[in-house]
C-alpha cells in the first residue's frame, strides 16, 4: 500500500507539472501573438534596406537649415528645389536636369587645398521624382557637363562629391564642355578671387527648342547655357548665354545683361537681392568691369577646342 501511495503521488506531481508547463507555453504563445511588440512578428516580407557604410553614397537630403546656401541667392522658379550642402538647384522633371544651380564662390574657398576629384557619377537621391542616370548618357555623344563645376567645390571632399549627382549634369557637346564652357568656368574663378566672393547661378536654356533627347529618361539636350554672376560688394553684375557648340569667339561676345537671360529663360534671378536700386543693375552691362585672360582664350582656340 505504501508503494502504491508513492506511485500515485509521483504520478499526480508529474501531471500537475506537465499541466503547468502546457499553460505556461500557451501563455507565452498568446503573449507573443497579442501582447508583445508588433515588430516581433513582422508582416512585411520585403528584404531589409541596406544602408551603405560609405557616407558619401548615402542619400543627401539636406534641409534648409542644414544647407549652407543662403535663401536670398535662389532664383524664383516653379521647379523642385533640391538643397545640397554648398549648392542648391531647381530640378525640372520634364527635362531631367536642373533648370538652375545656385551657390556662392569665394576667394578663401578657392585658396584651400583642393580635394581629389572623385568622378562618382550617380543619381541624386534627393530628387523626389528621380534624376537621370549615368546610363542615359552612354553612347549619346554628349558629355555629362557639370553645372556647378567640381573645381568650385574642391575646397571640401564632401562638397566636390555632391557635384557628381546627375541632377548637376546636363548633356553638353564635348568641344563646348572642354572649350568655351571651361574657359567661362575658369574666368568665373578668376573673378571670385578678384572680388573676394560671387553669387553664381548657372544652367541650361530650356525654353528654346532642344538639340535632341538622350537615354531612357529622355534627357533634354539644351541648345544653349547661361551663367549669371553678381559681385555684391562691388555692386557688379554680368551674364552670359552660350550656344551648346564649339566656338572660336571670345567669351565676351556672349555677355549680356541679367534682364536678357531672365527674358530668355523665364527665371527671375536674385529676386531678394536686386529689389529697388538693384533692378537697374539687372539691366546694365559693363564688360570692362570683368577683366579676362587673353592667354586662356588663345589656349582654348588652339588646344581645348581641338581635343575632341
**Dist. CA 102–CA 104, nearest whole Å:** 7
Neighbours of 245 (CB within 10 A): 14
* Residues whose CB falls within 8 Å of the CB of residue 42, separated by 6 or more in sequence, listed in order: none
Contact 209, 137 (CB under 8 A): no
Reference 106, options 195, 182, 227, 229; nearest CA is: 195
To the query of whether residue 146 is one of the catalytic residues in this protein, the response is yes
HSE-up of 248 (CA within 13 Å, CB side)?
A: 4
The DSSP output letter for 58 is S
Cell numbers 534648409 correspond to 64
**Dist. CA 63–CA 85, nearest whole Å:** 9
* Residues whose CB falls within 8 Å of the CB of residue 270, separated by 6 or more in sequence, listed in order: 72, 73, 75, 199, 201, 228, 230, 258, 278, 282
> So which residues are the catalytic ones?
146
Amino acid at each position: 500500500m505504501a508503494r502504491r501511495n508513492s506511485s500515485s503521488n509521483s504520478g499526480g506531481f508529474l501531471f500537475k507539472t506537465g499541466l503547468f508547463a502546457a499553460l505556461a507555453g500557451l501563455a507565452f504563445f498568446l503573449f507573443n501573438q497579442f501582447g508583445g511588440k508588433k515588430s516581433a512578428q513582422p508582416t512585411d516580407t520585403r528584404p531589409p534596406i541596406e544602408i551603405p557604410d560609405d557616407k558619401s553614397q548615402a542619400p543627401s537630403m539636406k534641409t534648409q537649415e542644414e544647407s549652407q546656401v543662403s535663401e536670398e541667392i535662389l532664383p524664383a522658379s516653379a521647379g523642385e528645389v533640391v538643397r545640397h550642402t554648398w549648392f542648391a538647384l531647381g530640378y525640372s522633371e520634364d527635362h531631367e536636369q536642373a533648370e538652375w544651380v545656385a551657390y556662392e564662390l569665394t576667394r578663401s574657398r578657392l585658396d584651400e587645398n583642393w580635394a581629389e576629384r572623385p568622378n562618382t557619377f550617380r543619381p541624386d537621391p534627393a530628387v523626389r521624382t528621380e534624376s537621370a542616370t549615368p546610363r542615359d548618357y552612354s553612347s549619346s555623344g554628349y558629355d555629362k557637363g557639370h553645372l556647378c563645376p567640381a573645381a568650385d567645390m574642391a575646397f571640401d571632399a564632401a562638397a566636390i562629391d555632391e557635384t557628381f549627382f546627375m541632377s548637376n549634369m546636363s548633356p553638353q557637346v564635348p568641344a563646348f564642355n572642354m572649350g568655351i564652357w571651361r574657359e567661362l568656368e575658369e574666368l568665373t574663378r578668376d573673378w571670385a578671387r578678384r572680388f573676394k566672393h560671387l553669387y553664381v547661378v548657372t544652367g541650361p536654356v530650356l525654353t528654346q527648342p532642344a538639340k535632341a533627347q538622350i537615354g531612357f529618361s529622355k534627357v533634354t539636350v539644351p541648345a544653349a547655357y547661361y551663367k549669371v554672376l553678381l559681385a555684391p560688394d562691388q555692386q557688379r553684375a554680368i551674364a552670359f548665354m552660350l550656344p551648346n557648340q564649339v566656338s572660336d569667339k571670345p567669351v565676351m561676345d556672349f555677355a549680356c545683361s541679367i534682364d536678357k537671360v531672365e527674358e530668355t529663360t523665364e527665371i527671375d534671378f536674385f529676386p531678394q537681392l536686386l529689389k529697388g536700386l538693384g533692378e537697374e543693375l539687372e539691366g546694365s552691362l559693363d564688360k570692362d568691369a570683368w577683366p579676362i585672360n587673353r592667354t586662356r582664350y588663345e589656349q582654348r582656340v588652339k588646344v581645348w577646342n581641338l581635343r575632341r
